[in-house]
Structures are given as structure tokens and as C-alpha cells.
């Protein structure tokens, strides 16, 4: 988006996003495996919507105020007091410490994990234990979308490994 302040997290969640994260000038809505289809549909809509896709001046001002408040709150909540407990659960859901090869934070909101055996990873358990979304990648690598405390979670997971 050209202006993240104009995006509505509540509306994105209402459309099915499991999480919405604002980092700097970037906005990430997490829809899981439906993301590519939704992206195509949004691009098609924006090509044909014209003025319908634009907000009124009043709505823009209201969203700017809301975005400023959200940004302040998010800046203050990057440390999670339950990180150690969550990391312990996530390590187990990833197949245990013996299954982990590499752990690191990436892209501000993600923990990148390389495992020995991908079939030991329990995606449903990860999501029920607080991971917003699990993105399987090539070479037994997974991105866990966890929000702005990703560095803290990665440290805890390494400590417990």
C-alpha cells in the first residue's frame, strides 16, 4: 500500500486475516495459503474500482489518528513476557530440539527455522500455541509469523535447543 495509515486492520481481520502486522512503512496481512488468490483478486478490483476504492477526507483523517495510536502501542509491545513458555511449546511442535538445525529471526515479524525432518512439524499445534501463521518453504525451512517480538522468540528457541 502507498500509505499504511489508510489500511484498516479490523477490516482485514474481518476478511479472514489471522494477523496484521505494521512494521515501519510496510503492512503484512496474514491469510495463509489463500494469500495468492486474494492478492490477484485485490489487484483486479483496484484496476476497475476507480473512485470507489478511495477514502473520503474525513475517513482518511480518522484512519491517520487510529494508525498513530496503533503505532505507539505496537512500539511498546515488542517484548513478550511469555516468550520462554511459547518458545518451549514451539520447539516441541517443530519436532523437538533434535529436529532443529537452524533458528533465526528474519523480516522483523518472522522466525526462520530449518529442520531435519519436515514431516515432524505440527503446523496446527504451532498455530494453536500462538504462531500467527506457518509458511513452509523449500529445503525443510519454515517461516513462523510471530509478530514484532520475533528476535526475542528466536533467542528463546535457540536457548532451549
Tell me which residue has cell 511469555: 82
Q: Report the CATH number of the 4-76 domain.
A: 3.30.1360
* Per-domain residue ranges of the chain: 4-76, 83-160
Average pLDDT over residues 3-22: 75
CA–CA dist 152, 161 (Å, integer): 14
Say whether 21 sits in a helix, a strand or coil: strand
pLDDT tens, position by position, 72-82: 545 544 688 99
pLDDT tens, position by position, 24-34: 777 787 777 67
With a threshold of 0.75, does the pTM exceed it?
no
pLDDT tops 80 at residue 118? yes
CA–CA dist 143, 112 (Å, integer): 5
Architecture per CATH, domain 83-160, reads as 2-Layer Sandwich (3.30)
Rg (CA), the chain: 18
Say whether 53 sits in a helix, a strand or coil: helix
- Model pLDDT, residue 65: 62
Is-same-fold flag (4-76; 83-160)?
A: yes
| Residue count (the chain) | 161
pLDDT tens, position by position, 121-152: 999 999 999 999 999 998 999 999 998 889 99
Amino acid at each position: 500500500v502507498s500509505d499504511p495509515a489508510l489500511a484498516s486492520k479490523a477490516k482485514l481481520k474481518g476478511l479472514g486475516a489471522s494477523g496484521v502486522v505494521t512494521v515501519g512503512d510496510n503492512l503484512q496481512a496474514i491469510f495463509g495459503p489463500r494469500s495468492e488468490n486474494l492478492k490477484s483478486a485485490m489487484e483486479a478490483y483496484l484496476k476497475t474500482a476507480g473512485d470507489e476504492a478511495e477514502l473520503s477526507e474525513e475517513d482518511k483523517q480518522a484512519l491517520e489518528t487510529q494508525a498513530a495510536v496503533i503505532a505507539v502501542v505496537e512500539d511498546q509491545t515488542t517484548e513478550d513476557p511469555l516468550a520462554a513458555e511459547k518458545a518451549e511449546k514451539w520447539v516441541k511442535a517443530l519436532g523437538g530440539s533434535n529436529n532443529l538445525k537452524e533458528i533465526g529471526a528474519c523480516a522483523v515479524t518472522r522466525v526462520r527455522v530449518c529442520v531435519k525432518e519436515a514431516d515432524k512439524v505440527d503446523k496446527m499445534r504451532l498455530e494453536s500455541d500462538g504462531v500467527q501463521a506457518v509458511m513452509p518453504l523449500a529445503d525443510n525451512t519454515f517461516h513462523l509469523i510471530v509478530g514484532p517480538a520475533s528476535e526475542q522468540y528466536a533467542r528463546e528457541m535457540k536457548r532451549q535447543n
